[in-house]
Amino acid sequence: MGTSPLAYDRDGSEMNVERTVAVALAARSGDASWDEVRYSASVCGVSAMGRVEAAARGAGVADVVLLVDSEATPRDTRVFHEASTYIAGASSRRALAARLAGHRVLAMCADLPLITAETIGKLLQAAEAHPTATLVAAGGALAVFADNVDPVKALSQAISRFGGRPLGDPGAGAWSAADPDDLRRLATPADVSALERIARRRKLASLAALGVIVVDDERTYVDERVRVGAGTRILPGTHLVGTTEVGRTCTLGPDSWIEDSAVEDGAVVRYSVLESARVRERSTVGPFAHLRRQADVGPEARVGNFVEVKAARLGRGVKAGHLSYLGDAEIGEGTNVGAGAITCNYDGAAKHRTVIEDGVFIGSNVSLVAPVTIGRGAFVAAGSTITENVPPQTLALGRARQVLKERSAAPSGEEGA
C-alpha cells in the first residue's frame, strides 16, 4: 500500500488530508450586475474563487468541489473548468452525499480572496485534534464539519443563507485565523479595492523578503503569480501583471506596464508597455516603447522611445532607438535601425515577414515592404522604400532622385510673410 498524503504546518507537525474534501460555496447576492463579476473579479491578479481553490490545494487537499445555489450562478470558469465537479442545489443531494461519504468536509465561501494555505492548514490541524467538533471560523465563512454532522444538510443550509454567516456563528468550536484579514469576504464591489490593497501589500512584503527592492509600495502593483529575482529594483507606477517573470538585478519603471512577459537578468524597462513579450539579459527598453505579443528583444539590445515591436525577434546588440515599427520580422545581431524605419508587414489581406540579417544598417525613414530579405552587412539608404531583396554587402537606394529648380518669383502669399 502507498503512504497517505500528508500536509505539513509551519511548526513541522503533520496531518492526514487524504480523506478531506473541500467544498467552495458560491451563491447569488440579488444584485445581478455584481453577481456577473463577483467570482471572477481580480484581486492582485487572481479571482477570489481561484484563491480559494489554490489555498485548499496548497494545504494538501486534492479534491475541491464547487457548490452553487443555481446553475445560473456565474462562476470563474478559469478555475472550476470542465474537469471539476459542479453540484447545484437540492437536485444533486444524492450525488453530493456520495462524493462526501467517508470524508472530512472543509467548507469555504468562494468569495475569500485573502484566504491562505497556512490558514486552511491550521484549521485542518485543529480539526485533527478535535475530531468530534465542528470548527467554525470567525465570520462563519470557513468551517470543518465533525464526523457526526450531515454535510449535505449543513451545506444546503449554508448556501441558502450565503449572504450572512453561512456556516454559522462560532460556538464551542470557535476558531480564529492568525490574520483576521484571511477571512474577509468579497461581498460588495466596494470590497475589491480594500482587499486589493491588503493582497498587494502582502505580495510586496514577500518580494522584499526575497531581496527585491520596492521603492514606493503605495504606487507599485504586482500580481500574485508574478515572480521577481533578487536585487531587482521596482520604481513607482510599475504594474507587473499576470504570469510575468522577472530576473535578477533588473530595473523596472517608473510607470511601466509589464503583462504576461519575461524580463531577464540585468534588463532595464522604463516608461514602457510589454504584453506577452520577452526582454533578454542586459537589454534596455524605453522610454515609451511598446512590445506587443511575441516580441523578443535582445540580449544586449536597445529599443528606444516610441518604438513598437510585434511578433519580431531582435538579435544580440540590435539598436532601434526611435520612432520605428518592427512587426513580423527577424532582425540579426548588431543591426542598427534608424529613426522612423518601419516594416510594412500587411498588404491588406495577409501578414508577411521581413528578414534582416546580421550587421545591417537601416537608415532613417526606410520602409521595408514585406516579404523581403536584407542580406548580411547591407546598407539601406535613408528615405528608401525597399520592395525587393537586398544582397549581402550592398548599398540599396529606393527613393526618387532629388531635383533642384530656380524659383522665378515668390509663390503667391509669401510676399507679406
Active site residues: 322
**CB 91 within 8 Å of CB 28:** no
140: phi then psi, degrees, rounded to nearest 5:
70, 20
Contact 318, 374 (CB under 8 A): no
Bridge partners (DSSP) of residue 14 are 8
Residue with cell 466596494: 190
- In angstroms, the CA 334 to CA 301 distance is 9
φ/ψ of residue 230, rounded to 5: -60, 145
At 41, the amino acid letter reads A
Q: Distance between CA 208 and CA 222 in Å, rounded?
A: 12
